[in-house]
């Protein structure tokens, strides 16, 4: 008799599908908001050295203390305010594992990063969705504050993926003052926003505010899997107690430490991406029928008639991969395009112009 494994899965986990990054091998991949620029040479040399000198026979330091210390010094907080994770994703999951659960709710503001909702469901947490405006994707501050009054956790993204906008600090202030929820501000892309956009400095006076950051974007280390949370030491202590003890491996810790120590070397790369973003935004906005939203991140959201076909033709005829969101609620005919190098962006533009028959 056949054994039906699916029926034995814990009910809250039934029906989940493996994550599909919608990846097809292409010469130009602008689909996953990675940093496509080469690593600065000094950083590359430091990383090679770290990889060749780090012993693999010993277990990692569970809390990655050397890396925590470096991150803490950078952000002007104590080490006890920093937790490192196997990508931001692990920290997001652990936050829901800790602070979610039956009879608790997470408030999100879609369209936003889908994993918040997935992790909440896995952790049996109700998800309350406060949708952004269909016209300009602005947040509904009053509705968010109302929803947060009954919730354990709020997750907002600044800049938001995929809409590119920053969360107004006044909204975060209201959530902290007018509700009792924990507030996670996901700043995965904040290095690409104007200086001063990060709310990390607020953490020390606001024990319910938590900031998520990652080395996957500005630091061009998406493959390494290293993210970190800046929060009140009480939050960090809880996360320290429930985490997978060795989730951050020795190589990831050593490489991340080199990269964070060399953080100023990434500044020219980030500046170049921001300049390219503004150029690309102008060109995309001028395409026939296109609507473009301003972005403070390393990607742009654009609405183009027939987006799904445009994306397929970019991939199949021009070997350029972008992300199609036209299937997603609130994002009809939207493509999300990572800002690449100058050459990659040129290639994207000429491919788009060929498809849309623009001179
Ligand atoms: N938050 C947002 C908004 C993201 O877009 C991503 C990655 N795409 C993450 C968090 C997680 O990034 P990572 O796990 O690579 O650190």
Consecutive 10-residue runs of the chain (359 residues): their mean pLDDT?
90 90 92 97 96 97 98 98 98 98 97 97 97 95 97 98 98 98 98 98 98 98 98 98 98 98 98 98 96 98 97 98 94 98 98 92
48/30 same-domain check? no
Residues 96 and 239 in one domain: yes
Nearest-CA residue for ligand 1 atom 9 is: 88
pLDDT at 22: 82
Does one domain contain both 324 and 351?
yes
Residue nearest (by alpha carbon) to ligand 1 atom 1: 188
Q: Which residues approach ligand 1 with their CB closer than 6 A?
A: 33, 87-89, 113, 157, 161, 186, 188, 214, 216, 222, 227
Question: 322 alpha carbon to ligand 1 midpoint, in Å?
Answer: 17
88 and 113 in contact (C-beta within 8 Å)?
A: no
Provide the CATH number for the domain around residue 220. 3.40.640.10
Is 232 found in the same domain as 129? yes
Distance CA 118, CA 353 (A): 37
Question: Distance, CA 174 to ligand 1 centroid (Å)?
Answer: 25
- Indicate whether 209 and 294 sit together in one domain: no
Q: How many domains does the chain have?
A: 2
Could you tell me the two tokens for 272? 């170049």
End position of a domain, from candidates 261, 277, 305: 261
Which CATH number belongs to the domain containing residue 287 in this structure?
A: 3.90.1150.10
**Do the domain assignments include residue 2?**
no
Distance 283 CA to ligand 1 centre (A): 27
> How far is ligand 1, taken at its centre, from the CA of residue 157, in Å?
10
Tell me whether residue 3 is in a domain.
no
Candidate of 214, 221, 256 to mutate for ligand 1, largest count of ligand atoms within 8 Å of Cβ: 214
pLDDT of residue 359: 73
For residue 4, the CA-to-ligand 1 centroid distance in Å is: 34
Nearest CA to ligand 1 atom 11: 88
The domain in which residue 32 lies consists of 22-39+266-356
270 and 242 inside one domain = no
Residues 78 and 149 both lie in one domain: yes
Tally the residues of the chain.
359
Q: Which atom of ligand 1 is nearest to the CA of 222?
A: 15
Residue indicated by tokens 């016209």: 135
DSSP-assigned beta bridge partners for residue 160: none
For residue 111, the CA-to-ligand 1 centroid distance in Å is: 15
Same domain, 226 and 342: no
211 and 311 together in one domain: no
Distance between Cα 188 and ligand 1 center (Å): 6
Domain stop point among 242, 261, 280: 261
Q: Is residue 207 part of a domain?
A: yes
302 domain residue, yes or no: yes
Instruction: Return the closest-CA partner of residue 301 out of 279, 321, 324, 319.
Output: 324
Is residue 17, in this structure, part of any structural domain at all? no
Is the domain of 62 the same as that of 185? yes
Same domain flag for 93 and 33:
no
Which of ligand 1's atoms lies nearest the C-alpha of 161?
A: 3
Q: Indicate if 114 and 29 belong to the same structural domain.
A: no
Q: What is the dihedral of CA 298, 32, 235, 245, to 10 degrees?
A: -140
Ligand 1 nearest-atom number relative to CA 92: 10
HSE toward the beta carbon, residue 275, CA cutoff 13 A: 8
Domain-terminating residue out of 209, 229, 261:
261
């Amino acid at each position: 008799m056949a054994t039906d494994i699916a029926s034995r899965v814990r009910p809250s986990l039934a029906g989940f599908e493996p994550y599909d990054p919608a990846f097809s091998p292409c010469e130009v991949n602008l689909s996953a908001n990675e940093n496509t620029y080469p690593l600065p040479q000094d950083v590359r040399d430091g990383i090679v050295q770290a990889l060749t000198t780090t012993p693999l026979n010993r277990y990692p330091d569970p809390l990655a203390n050397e890396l925590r210390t470096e991150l803490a010094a950078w952000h002007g907080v104590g080490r006890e305010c920093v937790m490192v994770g196997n990508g931001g994703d692990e920290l997001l999951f652990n936050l829901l594992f800790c602070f979610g659960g039956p009879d608790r709710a997470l408030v999100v503001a879609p369209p936003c990063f889908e994993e918040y909702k997935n992790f909440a469901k896995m952790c049996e947490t109700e998800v309350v969705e406060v949708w952004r405006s269909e016209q300009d994707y602005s947040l509904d501050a009053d509705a968010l504050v109302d929803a947060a009054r009954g919730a354990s956790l709020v997750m907002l993204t600044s800049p938001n993926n995929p809409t590119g906008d920053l969360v107004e600090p006044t909204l975060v202030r209201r959530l902290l003052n007018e509700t009792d929820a924990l507030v996670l501000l996901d700043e995965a892309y904040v290095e690409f926003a104007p200086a001063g956009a990060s709310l990390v400095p607020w953490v020390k006076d606001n024990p319910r505010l938590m900031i998520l950051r990652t080395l996957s974007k500005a630091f061009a280390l998406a493959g390494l899997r290293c993210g970190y949370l800046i929060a009140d030491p009480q939050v960090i202590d809880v996360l320290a107690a429930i985490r997978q003890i060795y989730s951050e491996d020795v190589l990831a810790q050593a490489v991340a430490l080199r990269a964070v120590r060399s953080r100023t070397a990434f500044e020219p790369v980030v500046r170049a991406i921001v300049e390219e973003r503004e150029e690309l935004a102008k060109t995309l906005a001028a395409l026939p029928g296109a609507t473009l939203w301003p972005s403070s991140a390393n990607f742009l959201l654009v609405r183009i008639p027939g987006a799904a076909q445009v994306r397929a033709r970019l991939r199949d005829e021009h070997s350029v991969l972008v992300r199609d969101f036209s299937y997603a609620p609130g994002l009809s005919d939207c493509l999300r395009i990572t800002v690449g190098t100058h050459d990659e962006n040129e290639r994207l533009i000429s491919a788009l112009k060929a498809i849309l028959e623009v001179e």
